[in-house]
A and B are shown apart, each in its own frame.
Chain A
Amino acid sequence: MSRDRTIPGLTVALAVCAIGGYFIPDWLMNQMMFGFARALAILGLLVLWRTGLVSFGHALYFGLGAYAVALLDINLGISDAFVRLGVAMLVTGGVGTLLGFILRNYRDIFFAMLSLAFSMVLYGILVKTEALGSTDGFTVSPPTFLSAAPEGKYPLFVLICVFGWLAAVLVQGYLRSTLGRLTTAVRDNEIRVEYLGYSVARAIHIKYVMSAVLTGAAGALTAMALGQVDPDSMVNWTASGELVFVTILSGPGSVAAPFIGSLIFELLRTYAFELVPHAWQMIVGGTLLAVIFFLPGGIWSLFARALKADK
């Protein structure tokens, strides 16, 4: 049996990024921060995708995570990055658990649309409520780290790299466990899973909560990196679509794929906007079409091929 080099590879890559981040220009560090933070949400969607489920409403959790950070900051003056992150994950885990009781009963387009509907309910509440910042959202103060308030964004960048690595290791471990194997098993044959004595609904529920927590963490880290939250870029259906877009771009083949795919998407969007400010979406959309036609396994399939050839 060949040894899986995903985690060692990811460890080296993220360590290089974390250390290298000290020397790279701010604009590139920002791109990497947004890319790696979003990768956490993609990691969650990857787990769902492997189960045969596509959520068009995960901006719900991205937004909840981001707004949890903003509301903690504004109402309680909490700036500690770890507390913000922890609360965001608790909130999204709680909401995910509640909604999971409903969503675990649906499949295919019904699952996708119902998840979208829930996210649009949050969007509606946010844009109509002045106390929640309405359409403008909130500004988020820079994070502190265990009472230390270092200058610049590098400490947050390191936190994102370390947290991303930890999440990838945990998800990889999960995918190698029985519960993780239930992703493919449920997608392939729900009847057999039930007749092996395991509840398909429970399996889906666990995966849904897991993806909600990861997406909440992504939203929280993005809010701290951006210094701002708003409903249009974080909770609207386009934000959910963007997460699905990056999931397809990345591919479901590995826990490393979301980090690569998300970073590529971030750079692609930036350069496309630079090149054609009024039609950058065409370049991004064209790229997705090309991936669907020529790389159905996502960008990761290129790496997988290279790694296979290397063995």
Chain B
Amino acid sequence: MSGDPILQVIDLQKTFGAVVAAKDINIDVSTGEVIGIIGANGAGKTTFVNMVTGYLKPSSGTIRFEGRDITGKPPRLVTQTGISRSFQVSQVFTSMTVYDNLLTALAITDSRGFNALRPIQRPDLTRRCEETLVRYQIDQYHDSEASTLPQGVRKLLDIAMAMVSKPRILLLDEPTSGVSAEEKFNIMDIIMGALKADQVTVLFIEHDMEIVERYVSRVVAFYQGEVICDKPPEEALIDSRVREFVIGEEYPLEVREAGSHADH
């Protein structure tokens, strides 16, 4: 991991009428970090991710990616600069097969200029498509329609599609939501393994503290639109404000294997 700042969020604010959804958010992200974003429902986590990825325009503040101001840019331009995301509800092409979903995603990201008019079935794309299916361990669902997939596989497909544009930062919105307790570590191992291989900086929203403890190198906790804690997990999960407003006092004080998997 290098310490180069890749993403800087400065005094970010978002209001919806009288409601302040995000207030004075300041976060610096270094290349290679795996950051867990935690907070109760309505704390401002998704609003933050939506602003960074261009889904929402901030009311004020600045977002810099690799030194460039990307504040308020639309999603496709944010994606083109090197930031990608997945969603809490997987955003896939429901009527297509898993293979066609990935092939379409690869073709779209490779569609500058006249490339958009080239046939979609071409050796370079189909080879990359097959490789990605294997990397995310969804090759057994090759011909399954996306609408019929189990939740965990859908999540993997969603993230695989987000990764085809080769982003430098990936933001994941609850990658294990809707996934069974038995499956969640397996799914996360696949995701983090693939992302590590691609050397991607990761920010992910998560409610499951076991996941947070196991995979992140840093925790950013939100409460009522503000960042109340920004520390390594072993410190964040025993922080009094985090325990009061986010994870609850009953959560074990000793942090299990904190950060031990953060190198994933």
Contact = CB atoms under 8 A, between A and B. Distances in A.
Contacts of A195: 53, 75-76, 79, 84-85, 91, 162
A182 B96 contact: no
Given A195-B53, A198-B108, A178 B115 contact: yes
A174 B96 CA distance: 18
Contacts, number: 86
A199 B80 CA distance: 11
Contacts of A181: 104, 107-108, 120
B180 interface: no
A26 B234 CA distance: 87
Contact of A198 (B91, B95, B111): B111
B92 interface: yes
Interface string B47-91: 000000100000000000000000000111001100011010001
A196 B96 contact: no
Nearest to A187: B95
A197 B165 contact: yes
A177 interface: yes
B105 interface: yes
Given A177-B119, A178-B116, A196 B94 contact: no
Interface string A157-181: 0000000000000000110111111
A194 interface: yes
Nearest to A199: B76
A143 B120 CA distance: 40
A198 B76 contact: yes
A178 B122 CA distance: 11
A184 interface: yes
Contact of A179 (B95, B109, B111): B111
Nearest to A1: B121
A74 B5 CA distance: 69
Contacts of B105: 192, 196
A176 to B, nearest CB: 5
A197 B76 contact: yes
Interface string B91-113: 11111100000001101111100
Given A176-B119, A178-B116, A199-B76, A192 B94 contact: no
Given A176-B121, A177-B116, A177-B117, A197 B92 contact: no
Contacts of A184: 93, 95-96, 104
Given A185-B108, A195-B162, A178 B93 contact: no
A114 interface: no
Contacts of A197: 76, 79-80, 108-109, 165
A188 B109 contact: no
A13 interface: no
Contacts of B165: 196-197
A197 to B, nearest CB: 4
Given A177-B118, A177-B119, A178-B117, A196 B108 contact: yes
A226 interface: no
Contacts of A192: 91-93, 105, 161
Interface string A140-152: 0000000000000
B164 interface: yes
Contacts of A185: 93, 96, 104, 108
Q: Which of A178, A187, A194 has the most CB of B within 10 A?
A: A178
A188 B93 contact: yes
A178 B92 contact: no
A178 B111 contact: yes
A214 to B, nearest CB: 17
A196 B79 contact: yes
A178 B107 contact: yes
Contacts of B92: 188-189, 192
Interface in A183-213: 184-185, 187-189, 191-199
Nearest to A179: B116
Given A178-B110, A188-B94, A197-B76, 9 more contacts: A178-B107, A178-B111, A180-B120, A182-B108, A184-B95, A185-B108, A192-B161, A194-B74, A196-B161
24 contacts: A177-B117, A178-B107, A178-B115, A178-B116, A178-B117, A178-B120, A179-B117, A184-B96, A185-B108, A187-B95, A188-B96, A189-B91, A189-B94, A191-B87, A191-B91, A192-B93, A193-B108, A194-B76, A195-B79, A196-B79, A196-B105, A197-B76, A197-B108, A198-B76
* Closest 9 pairs (CB-CB, A-B): A188-B93, A197-B79, A178-B107, A192-B91, A196-B108, A194-B75, A178-B111, A179-B116, A197-B80
Interface of A: 173-174, 176-182, 184-185, 187-189, 191-199
